[in-house]
Amino acid sequence: MSATEDRIRELAKRHFGRDVNFAVGLAESEIPSLDIVAFLKKVGEAFDLAIPNVDATQFENLGDVVKYIDTRR
């Protein structure tokens, strides 16, 4: 597990109040879309990285978020 994944996992636990499977699609995770948007904003702030909406719409799961951050750091 990468440091990025560890950090996002901890952010997800605090934000959603539960562990989130990184391989499960965000749409299938039963998390309301507004919560996902707010979470992605927190992730961007935590990594000092702006995540444009056009990029965020391409994330299928949290694994994609990890890859996105790792390629921009």
CB 39 within 8 A of CB 12: yes
Domain spans of the chain, in order of start: 3-72
Q: What is the pTM of this model?
A: 0.90
CB 7 within 8 A of CB 39: no
User: How far apart (Å, rounded) are the C-alpha atoms in residues 32 and 72?
Assistant: 27
Say which CATH superfamily domain 3-72 falls into: ACP-like (1.10.1200.10)
Alpha helix positions (H), the chain: 3-16, 33-46, 53-56, 62-72
Per-residue pLDDT of the chain (73 residues; tens, 9 = 90+): 799 999 999 999 999 999 889 999 988 888 898 999 999 999 999 999 999 999 999 999 999 999 999 999 7
